[in-house]
Structure 1
Amino acid sequence: MELDEERFGLIASEIGAAVLELVHHGQLVDRMAIVNALESKRRTVGNTLHKGGCRDAAALVRNNGDRS
C-alpha cells in the first residue's frame, strides 16, 4: 500500500488515538479492539476526509494481521 506523507500521518494519528482511547478506558489493546475503535469513530465523525482516514487506518490494521 503506497501512501503519501500526509495520508500516512493521518492514518498513524488515528491508530495512535484509538490505542490511547482503549488504554484510557482500561480496555485490552489488541488488533480487533483497535479496528473496532476506528470503525466506531468512522461512524461518528462528520467530515468525509476524516471518515476515509479512519476507514484506511482500520483496513491497514486489519490487513497487516495476515502477514507472518
Structure 2
Amino acid sequence: MNTDNFVTIRTYHDHIVGELMISVLHNAGIRVFRFEEMHSMLPTENVEIKVHESDVDAALEIIEAQENI
C-alpha cells in the first residue's frame, strides 16, 4: 500500500483502545491502517492510526465522538 497520502491522526499508548478506534473508522468506511514500530515480539506500546489525507476531518470527528463516550 502506498502510504504517501496517509497521515497520522492519533497515537494511542493503549493497544486495545487503538484497535477499537481502527475498527470504528474501518466500519465507517474510512481507509485506515495501523502503524507500529516492531522491535520485539512483545506488543508495542504505541499504535499510530493513519488515514488518507482526504479522510482526516471525518476520521477526527468519529474518533472525538468515540473518545467522549
Please state which band the TM-score falls in when normalised by the shorter chain: 0.3 to 0.5
Determine which structure has greater relative contact order: mean sequence separation of CA pairs < 8 Å that are 6+ residues apart, divided by chain length.
Answer: 2
Higher-strand-fraction structure: 2
Higher helix content, 1 or 2: 1
